Structure 1
Protein backbone atom coordinates (compact mmCIF):
# COMPACT_ATOMS: atom_id res chain seq x y z
CA UNK A 1 0.00 0.00 0.00
CA UNK A 2 1.39 3.38 -0.99
CA UNK A 3 1.96 5.92 1.76
CA UNK A 4 2.51 8.79 -0.69
CA UNK A 5 0.35 11.85 0.02
CA UNK A 6 -1.72 12.75 -3.04
CA UNK A 7 -0.20 15.69 -4.90
CA UNK A 8 -3.66 17.22 -5.14
CA UNK A 9 -3.44 17.83 -1.38
CA UNK A 10 -0.27 19.82 -1.79
CA UNK A 11 -1.72 21.76 -4.70
CA UNK A 12 -4.84 22.61 -2.73
CA UNK A 13 -2.71 23.71 0.22
CA UNK A 14 -0.63 26.01 -1.99
CA UNK A 15 -3.77 27.46 -3.54
CA UNK A 16 -5.33 28.12 -0.14
CA UNK A 17 -2.12 29.72 1.11
CA UNK A 18 -2.03 32.01 -1.93
CA UNK A 19 -5.67 32.98 -1.40
CA UNK A 20 -4.96 33.79 2.26
CA UNK A 21 -2.05 36.03 1.28
CA UNK A 22 -4.14 37.81 -1.36
CA UNK A 23 -7.03 38.48 1.01
CA UNK A 24 -4.73 39.47 3.88
CA UNK A 25 -2.96 41.94 1.60
CA UNK A 26 -6.30 43.49 0.66
CA UNK A 27 -7.51 43.66 4.26
CA UNK A 28 -4.24 45.10 5.63
CA UNK A 29 -4.44 47.73 2.91
CA UNK A 30 -8.08 48.57 3.66
CA UNK A 31 -8.02 48.80 7.45
CA UNK A 32 -4.36 48.58 8.43
CA UNK A 33 -2.59 45.75 10.22
CA UNK A 34 -3.74 46.63 13.73
CA UNK A 35 -7.44 46.73 12.81
CA UNK A 36 -7.37 43.58 10.69
CA UNK A 37 -8.32 40.22 12.20
CA UNK A 38 -7.42 36.69 11.23
CA UNK A 39 -11.08 35.74 11.49
CA UNK A 40 -11.96 38.31 8.82
CA UNK A 41 -9.20 37.01 6.54
CA UNK A 42 -10.46 33.45 7.05
CA UNK A 43 -14.02 34.54 6.30
CA UNK A 44 -12.97 36.18 3.05
CA UNK A 45 -11.12 33.05 1.96
CA UNK A 46 -14.01 30.82 3.00
CA UNK A 47 -12.16 28.73 5.57
CA UNK A 48 -12.32 28.41 9.34
CA UNK A 49 -10.14 30.37 11.73
CA UNK A 50 -8.28 27.18 12.79
CA UNK A 51 -7.89 26.36 9.10
CA UNK A 52 -6.13 29.66 8.50
CA UNK A 53 -3.90 29.13 11.53
CA UNK A 54 -2.82 25.82 10.03
CA UNK A 55 -1.02 27.91 7.41
CA UNK A 56 -0.07 30.95 9.52
CA UNK A 57 0.34 30.62 13.29
CA UNK A 58 -0.50 34.26 14.06
CA UNK A 59 -1.11 37.64 12.48
CA UNK A 60 2.52 38.75 12.65
CA UNK A 61 3.60 35.63 10.74
CA UNK A 62 0.91 36.32 8.13
CA UNK A 63 2.05 39.93 7.76
CA UNK A 64 5.65 38.83 7.25
CA UNK A 65 4.54 36.38 4.56
CA UNK A 66 2.49 39.06 2.78
CA UNK A 67 5.45 41.46 2.71
CA UNK A 68 7.85 38.71 1.64
CA UNK A 69 5.57 37.75 -1.25
CA UNK A 70 5.23 41.35 -2.44
CA UNK A 71 8.98 41.89 -2.23
CA UNK A 72 9.59 38.77 -4.28
CA UNK A 73 7.19 39.84 -7.03
CA UNK A 74 8.32 43.48 -7.07
CA UNK A 75 11.99 42.51 -6.94
CA UNK A 76 11.68 40.24 -9.95
CA UNK A 77 9.88 42.95 -11.93
CA UNK A 78 12.46 45.60 -10.99
CA UNK A 79 15.38 43.32 -11.82
CA UNK A 80 13.78 42.44 -15.16
CA UNK A 81 13.63 46.14 -16.05
CA UNK A 82 17.25 46.65 -15.02
CA UNK A 83 18.35 43.59 -17.00
CA UNK A 84 16.42 44.99 -19.95
CA UNK A 85 18.65 48.06 -20.01
CA UNK A 86 16.68 50.58 -17.95
CA UNK A 87 18.63 52.67 -15.46
CA UNK A 88 17.63 52.68 -11.79
CA UNK A 89 15.40 55.75 -12.06
CA UNK A 90 13.62 54.59 -15.19
CA UNK A 91 13.02 51.29 -13.42
CA UNK A 92 11.54 53.14 -10.43
CA UNK A 93 9.24 55.03 -12.78
CA UNK A 94 8.10 51.67 -14.15
CA UNK A 95 7.32 50.55 -10.59
CA UNK A 96 5.14 53.64 -10.17
CA UNK A 97 3.49 52.94 -13.53
CA UNK A 98 2.65 49.37 -12.52
CA UNK A 99 1.35 50.53 -9.14
CA UNK A 100 -1.21 52.70 -10.91
CA UNK A 101 -2.99 49.48 -11.89
CA UNK A 102 -2.92 47.87 -8.44
CA UNK A 103 -4.42 50.18 -5.86
CA UNK A 104 -4.49 47.44 -3.23
CA UNK A 105 -0.70 47.23 -3.13
CA UNK A 106 -0.31 51.00 -2.95
CA UNK A 107 -2.84 51.16 -0.13
CA UNK A 108 -1.10 48.32 1.68
CA UNK A 109 2.29 50.03 1.73
CA UNK A 110 0.95 53.51 2.48
CA UNK A 111 -1.03 52.27 5.49
CA UNK A 112 1.54 49.83 6.79
CA UNK A 113 4.51 52.19 6.46
CA UNK A 114 2.62 54.78 8.51
CA UNK A 115 1.60 52.24 11.16
CA UNK A 116 5.09 50.78 11.29
CA UNK A 117 6.66 54.02 12.52
CA UNK A 118 5.65 52.72 15.97
CA UNK A 119 8.57 50.74 17.36
CA UNK A 120 6.30 47.97 18.66
CA UNK A 121 4.77 47.30 15.25
CA UNK A 122 5.77 43.86 13.84
CA UNK A 123 6.76 45.46 10.52
CA UNK A 124 8.84 48.26 12.08
CA UNK A 125 12.23 46.67 11.37
CA UNK A 126 11.08 45.53 7.94
CA UNK A 127 10.26 49.08 6.84
CA UNK A 128 13.46 50.43 8.39
CA UNK A 129 15.46 47.97 6.29
CA UNK A 130 13.33 48.64 3.22
CA UNK A 131 13.88 52.39 3.38
CA UNK A 132 17.59 51.98 4.08
CA UNK A 133 17.95 49.69 1.06
CA UNK A 134 15.99 52.03 -1.24
CA UNK A 135 17.96 55.06 -0.09
CA UNK A 136 21.22 53.20 -0.55
CA UNK A 137 20.39 52.12 -4.11
CA UNK A 138 19.19 55.60 -5.05
CA UNK A 139 22.22 57.33 -3.50
CA UNK A 140 24.56 54.96 -5.36
CA UNK A 141 22.77 55.72 -8.65
CA UNK A 142 22.94 59.49 -8.07
CA UNK A 143 26.62 59.22 -7.14
CA UNK A 144 27.29 57.46 -10.45
CA UNK A 145 25.47 60.26 -12.29
CA UNK A 146 27.55 62.85 -10.43
CA UNK A 147 30.77 61.04 -11.35
CA UNK A 148 29.62 60.95 -14.98
CA UNK A 149 29.04 64.72 -14.91
CA UNK A 150 25.27 64.40 -15.33
CA UNK A 151 24.11 65.60 -11.91
CA UNK A 152 23.39 69.32 -11.57
CA UNK A 153 26.05 71.25 -9.64
CA UNK A 154 25.29 71.51 -5.95
CA UNK A 155 22.97 68.48 -5.89
CA UNK A 156 24.01 66.08 -3.13
CA UNK A 157 23.43 62.41 -4.10
CA UNK A 158 22.20 61.44 -0.62
CA UNK A 159 19.73 64.34 -0.53
CA UNK A 160 18.57 63.58 -4.07
CA UNK A 161 17.98 59.97 -2.99
CA UNK A 162 15.81 61.09 -0.08
CA UNK A 163 13.84 63.42 -2.34
CA UNK A 164 13.22 60.54 -4.74
CA UNK A 165 11.88 58.18 -2.07
CA UNK A 166 9.87 60.98 -0.43
CA UNK A 167 8.35 61.83 -3.82
CA UNK A 168 7.38 58.21 -4.46
CA UNK A 169 5.69 57.96 -1.08
CA UNK A 170 3.94 61.31 -1.35
CA UNK A 171 2.72 60.66 -4.87
CA UNK A 172 1.18 57.38 -3.74
CA UNK A 173 -0.76 59.17 -0.98
CA UNK A 174 -1.98 61.81 -3.46
CA UNK A 175 -2.94 59.11 -5.95
CA UNK A 176 -5.02 57.25 -3.36
CA UNK A 177 -6.76 60.42 -2.17
CA UNK A 178 -7.69 61.39 -5.71
CA UNK A 179 -9.58 58.18 -6.44
CA UNK A 180 -12.95 59.86 -5.85
CA UNK A 181 -11.86 63.36 -6.81
CA UNK A 182 -13.30 65.47 -9.60
CA UNK A 183 -10.01 65.86 -11.47
CA UNK A 184 -7.61 63.39 -12.99
CA UNK A 185 -5.42 61.27 -10.74
CA UNK A 186 -1.76 62.19 -10.62
CA UNK A 187 0.47 60.32 -13.05
CA UNK A 188 2.97 58.96 -10.54
CA UNK A 189 5.43 57.74 -13.13
CA UNK A 190 5.46 61.04 -15.07
CA UNK A 191 5.82 63.12 -11.90
CA UNK A 192 8.73 60.99 -10.72
CA UNK A 193 10.40 61.32 -14.10
CA UNK A 194 9.99 65.12 -13.96
CA UNK A 195 11.72 65.18 -10.57
CA UNK A 196 14.69 63.24 -11.88
CA UNK A 197 15.00 65.48 -14.94
CA UNK A 198 15.09 68.52 -12.66
CA UNK A 199 18.08 67.04 -10.85
CA UNK A 200 20.05 66.15 -13.97
CA UNK A 201 21.85 68.15 -16.61
CA UNK A 202 20.45 67.99 -20.12
Structure 2
Protein backbone atom coordinates (compact mmCIF):
# COMPACT_ATOMS: atom_id res chain seq x y z
CA UNK A 1 0.00 0.00 0.00
CA UNK A 2 2.78 2.42 0.94
CA UNK A 3 4.76 1.73 -2.23
CA UNK A 4 1.76 2.18 -4.54
CA UNK A 5 0.81 5.34 -2.62
CA UNK A 6 4.28 6.85 -2.88
CA UNK A 7 5.12 5.86 -6.45
CA UNK A 8 1.89 5.05 -8.27
CA UNK A 9 1.31 1.74 -10.00
CA UNK A 10 3.69 2.09 -12.93
CA UNK A 11 6.64 3.29 -10.85
CA UNK A 12 6.15 0.90 -7.90
CA UNK A 13 8.88 -1.75 -8.14
CA UNK A 14 7.75 -5.23 -7.22
CA UNK A 15 11.10 -5.75 -5.46
CA UNK A 16 10.36 -2.86 -3.08
CA UNK A 17 6.92 -4.28 -2.33
CA UNK A 18 8.46 -7.70 -1.68
CA UNK A 19 11.13 -6.20 0.60
CA UNK A 20 8.51 -4.32 2.64
CA UNK A 21 6.46 -7.50 2.99
CA UNK A 22 9.50 -9.56 3.98
CA UNK A 23 9.13 -11.76 0.90
CA UNK A 24 10.92 -12.40 -2.35
CA UNK A 25 9.38 -11.23 -5.62
CA UNK A 26 8.50 -14.87 -6.30
CA UNK A 27 6.83 -15.02 -2.89
CA UNK A 28 4.67 -12.00 -3.69
CA UNK A 29 3.77 -13.49 -7.07
CA UNK A 30 2.85 -16.75 -5.35
CA UNK A 31 0.03 -14.93 -3.51
CA UNK A 32 -0.77 -12.46 -6.29
CA UNK A 33 -0.16 -13.76 -9.81
CA UNK A 34 0.53 -10.31 -11.20
CA UNK A 35 1.35 -6.83 -9.98
CA UNK A 36 -2.08 -5.77 -11.29
CA UNK A 37 -3.78 -8.40 -9.11
CA UNK A 38 -1.78 -7.16 -6.12
CA UNK A 39 -2.96 -3.61 -6.84
CA UNK A 40 -6.59 -4.68 -7.06
CA UNK A 41 -6.25 -6.59 -3.78
CA UNK A 42 -4.78 -3.54 -2.06
CA UNK A 43 -7.68 -1.39 -3.27
CA UNK A 44 -10.22 -4.00 -2.17
CA UNK A 45 -8.57 -4.14 1.27
CA UNK A 46 -8.95 -0.36 1.53
CA UNK A 47 -12.65 -0.62 0.67
CA UNK A 48 -13.18 -3.53 3.05
CA UNK A 49 -11.78 -1.56 5.98
CA UNK A 50 -14.15 1.31 5.17
CA UNK A 51 -17.12 -1.07 4.88
CA UNK A 52 -16.28 -2.62 8.24
CA UNK A 53 -16.49 0.86 9.80
CA UNK A 54 -20.17 1.00 8.74
CA UNK A 55 -21.13 -2.10 10.67
CA UNK A 56 -23.68 -4.63 9.46
CA UNK A 57 -26.08 -2.10 7.89
CA UNK A 58 -25.28 0.78 5.58
CA UNK A 59 -26.65 4.03 7.02
CA UNK A 60 -29.41 5.69 5.02
CA UNK A 61 -30.28 9.28 4.18
CA UNK A 62 -28.76 11.87 6.50
CA UNK A 63 -26.96 9.14 8.45
CA UNK A 64 -25.05 8.13 5.31
CA UNK A 65 -24.26 11.77 4.55
CA UNK A 66 -22.97 12.15 8.12
CA UNK A 67 -20.85 9.06 7.44
CA UNK A 68 -19.20 10.90 4.51
CA UNK A 69 -18.24 13.77 6.81
CA UNK A 70 -16.97 11.25 9.37
CA UNK A 71 -14.95 9.55 6.62
CA UNK A 72 -13.34 12.87 5.70
CA UNK A 73 -12.45 13.35 9.38
CA UNK A 74 -11.07 9.79 9.65
CA UNK A 75 -9.07 10.24 6.44
CA UNK A 76 -7.08 13.01 8.12
CA UNK A 77 -5.64 10.21 10.28
CA UNK A 78 -4.85 7.92 7.32
CA UNK A 79 -2.41 9.73 5.06
CA UNK A 80 -1.14 6.56 3.38
CA UNK A 81 -4.60 5.39 2.37
CA UNK A 82 -5.60 8.86 1.18
CA UNK A 83 -2.40 9.14 -0.88
CA UNK A 84 -2.95 5.65 -2.33
CA UNK A 85 -6.47 6.55 -3.41
CA UNK A 86 -5.55 9.97 -4.79
CA UNK A 87 -2.56 8.72 -6.78
CA UNK A 88 -4.18 5.59 -8.16
CA UNK A 89 -7.56 7.13 -8.97
CA UNK A 90 -5.87 9.89 -11.00
CA UNK A 91 -3.44 7.45 -12.60
CA UNK A 92 -6.30 5.09 -13.54
CA UNK A 93 -7.55 7.43 -16.27
CA UNK A 94 -4.54 6.47 -18.42
CA UNK A 95 -4.87 3.88 -21.17
CA UNK A 96 -4.85 0.25 -20.04
CA UNK A 97 -4.33 1.05 -16.34
CA UNK A 98 -5.08 -2.10 -14.32
CA UNK A 99 -7.27 -0.21 -11.82
CA UNK A 100 -9.36 1.66 -14.40
CA UNK A 101 -12.32 -0.75 -14.23
CA UNK A 102 -12.08 -0.81 -10.43
CA UNK A 103 -12.30 2.99 -10.17
CA UNK A 104 -14.99 3.27 -12.84
CA UNK A 105 -17.12 0.73 -10.94
CA UNK A 106 -16.32 2.32 -7.58
CA UNK A 107 -17.43 5.76 -8.75
CA UNK A 108 -20.60 4.32 -10.28
CA UNK A 109 -21.50 2.66 -6.99
CA UNK A 110 -20.51 5.66 -4.89
CA UNK A 111 -22.58 8.03 -7.04
CA UNK A 112 -25.58 5.73 -6.58
CA UNK A 113 -25.11 5.55 -2.77
CA UNK A 114 -24.72 9.32 -2.44
CA UNK A 115 -27.65 10.03 -4.77
CA UNK A 116 -29.86 7.61 -2.80
CA UNK A 117 -28.84 9.24 0.48
CA UNK A 118 -29.53 12.73 -0.89
CA UNK A 119 -32.89 11.60 -2.24
CA UNK A 120 -33.78 10.02 1.13
CA UNK A 121 -32.62 13.09 3.05
CA UNK A 122 -34.45 15.59 0.84
CA UNK A 123 -37.55 13.63 -0.16
CA UNK A 124 -37.04 14.72 -3.77
CA UNK A 125 -38.42 12.45 -6.49
CA UNK A 126 -36.21 10.03 -8.38
CA UNK A 127 -36.58 11.97 -11.62
CA UNK A 128 -35.10 15.19 -10.16
CA UNK A 129 -31.79 15.49 -12.06
CA UNK A 130 -30.36 17.81 -9.42
CA UNK A 131 -29.79 14.81 -7.13
CA UNK A 132 -27.31 13.18 -9.54
CA UNK A 133 -25.51 16.49 -10.05
CA UNK A 134 -25.34 17.08 -6.29
CA UNK A 135 -23.93 13.56 -5.75
CA UNK A 136 -21.26 14.20 -8.41
CA UNK A 137 -20.39 17.53 -6.81
CA UNK A 138 -20.08 16.11 -3.30
CA UNK A 139 -17.81 13.28 -4.45
CA UNK A 140 -15.70 15.72 -6.49
CA UNK A 141 -15.32 18.01 -3.49
CA UNK A 142 -14.23 15.15 -1.26
CA UNK A 143 -11.68 13.89 -3.80
CA UNK A 144 -10.36 17.39 -4.45
CA UNK A 145 -10.03 18.09 -0.74
CA UNK A 146 -7.92 14.96 -0.36
CA UNK A 147 -5.43 16.22 -2.95
CA UNK A 148 -5.31 19.67 -1.37
CA UNK A 149 -4.86 18.15 2.10
CA UNK A 150 -2.01 15.92 0.92
CA UNK A 151 -0.22 18.96 -0.47
CA UNK A 152 -0.94 21.25 2.49
CA UNK A 153 -2.41 19.43 5.51
CA UNK A 154 -2.32 22.46 7.83
CA UNK A 155 -4.36 24.55 5.41
CA UNK A 156 -7.18 22.09 4.68
CA UNK A 157 -9.78 20.64 7.05
CA UNK A 158 -11.44 17.98 4.91
CA UNK A 159 -14.30 17.24 7.32
CA UNK A 160 -15.29 20.87 7.90
CA UNK A 161 -15.16 21.66 4.19
CA UNK A 162 -17.15 18.53 3.31
CA UNK A 163 -19.79 19.38 5.89
CA UNK A 164 -20.06 22.95 4.60
CA UNK A 165 -20.57 21.77 1.02
CA UNK A 166 -23.03 19.09 2.12
CA UNK A 167 -25.10 21.60 4.09
CA UNK A 168 -25.03 23.99 1.13
CA UNK A 169 -26.22 21.26 -1.24
CA UNK A 170 -29.03 20.26 1.12
CA UNK A 171 -30.10 23.88 1.52
CA UNK A 172 -30.07 24.35 -2.26
CA UNK A 173 -32.03 21.15 -2.90
CA UNK A 174 -34.62 21.85 -0.20
CA UNK A 175 -34.75 25.61 0.38
CA UNK A 176 -38.11 25.35 2.19
CA UNK A 177 -36.72 23.02 4.84
CA UNK A 178 -34.34 23.76 7.64
CA UNK A 179 -32.84 20.22 7.65
CA UNK A 180 -29.11 20.15 7.22
CA UNK A 181 -26.42 17.58 7.82
CA UNK A 182 -25.51 19.10 11.17
TM range (shorter): 0.7 to 0.9
Q: Does 1:137 align with 2:113?
A: yes
Quote the Cα distance in structure 1 between the aligned partners of 2:34 and 2:124: 50
Quote the Cα distance in structure 1 between the aligned partners of 2:165 and 2:39: 33
Cα distance per residue 1:70-101 (max 9 Å; x no partner): 11111111346855996111001111111100
CA contact 1:139–1:161 (8 Å) conserved in 2: yes
- Cα 1:47–1:92 shift into 2, 3 Å: same
Quote the Cα distance in structure 2 between the aligned partners of 1:104 and 1:47: 21
The aligned counterpart of 2:157 is 187
Displacement of 1:119? 3.6
Q: After the TM superposition, which of the residue ranges 101-110 and 185-194 deviates more from structure 2?
A: 185-194
TM-score by length of 2: 0.85
Q: After the TM superposition, which of the residue ranges 186-195 and 139-148 deviates more from structure 2?
A: 139-148
Runs of 4+ deviating beyond 4 Å:
79-86
Matched residues, number:
170
CA-atom RMSD in angstroms = 2.3
Quote the Cα distance in structure 2 between the aligned partners of 1:158 and 1:148: 11
Displacement of 1:155? 8.4
Displacement of 1:142? 1.6
Q: Does 1:102 align with 2:72?
A: no
Quote the Cα distance in structure 2 between the aligned partners of 1:27 and 1:148: 44
The aligned counterpart of 1:93 is 69
Q: After the TM superposition, which of the residue ranges 185-194 and 99-108 deviates more from structure 2?
A: 185-194
* Structure exhibiting the larger radius of gyration computed from Cα positions: 1
2:18 is aligned, of 17, 42, 58, to: 42
Cα distance per residue 1:114-171 (max 9 Å; x no partner): 110124001000000000111111111222233269xxxx981111101100000000
Quote the Cα distance in structure 2 between the aligned partners of 1:173 and 1:99: 12
What runs of 5+ residues in structure 1 fail to find an aligned partner?
1-24
TM-score by length of 1: 0.77
What runs of 5+ residues in structure 2 fail to find an aligned partner?
172-177
Q: Which has the higher contact order (CA 8 A, sep 6+)?
A: 2
